Amino acid sequence: MFGVGQRLFLVQRRLHTLSRDGPSESLKKRVAELEKTRKRKNVKKNDVFVEVPESKSFLDTASLPMFLTVAAIALFAKLLMMYDDSKSQEMIEHKIKNAPPGQGTMRMLTREEWEEFQEVRPRTPFESKLA
């Protein structure tokens, strides 16, 4: 049953596509209406617009708001640097105070230790750690 229905559908499609007369009158009218509406559209939209860039000469002249902005940024940066300088000394002292005993102390090398360092030749950055 399914095969018969499918064959009938294909035959029906072929009959509708075998038109020797060309497009029907209703189709011709519909195409003509579409052409009219296409031609009736706004003619200004079809014009070619060329974007002309605006002059940026106003950026060459510094204005008062620009000066004030630059001055405010410079003042803020200076205040941040001053605050950092005041805190850095306190942080160094705090780290020294809280350091474990023996850390950060210096002593003189003995003659033997110095000679050991002298015997080790300097390595280049290209040598491997295992060489």
pLDDT digits (tens, 9 = 90+) for 34-47: 887 776 666 666 66
* Residue 72: per-residue pLDDT: 98
Closest by CA to 8, choosing from 70, 16, 39, 130, is 16
CA distance 125 to 100: 33
Task: Give the Å distances, CA to CA, from 35 to 2, 25, 39, 48.
Answer: 43, 15, 6, 22
| DSSP reduced 3-state for 128 | coil
pLDDT given for residue 112 in this prediction: 92
Domain ranges of the chain: 69-93
Query: Quick one: pLDDT at residue 71?
Result: 97
Average pLDDT in the 86-110 region?
83
DSSP state of 19: -
Q: Is the per-residue pLDDT at 16 higher than 70?
A: no
Is the predicted pLDDT of residue 11 greater than 80, yes or no? no
Over residues 67-77, the mean pLDDT reads 97
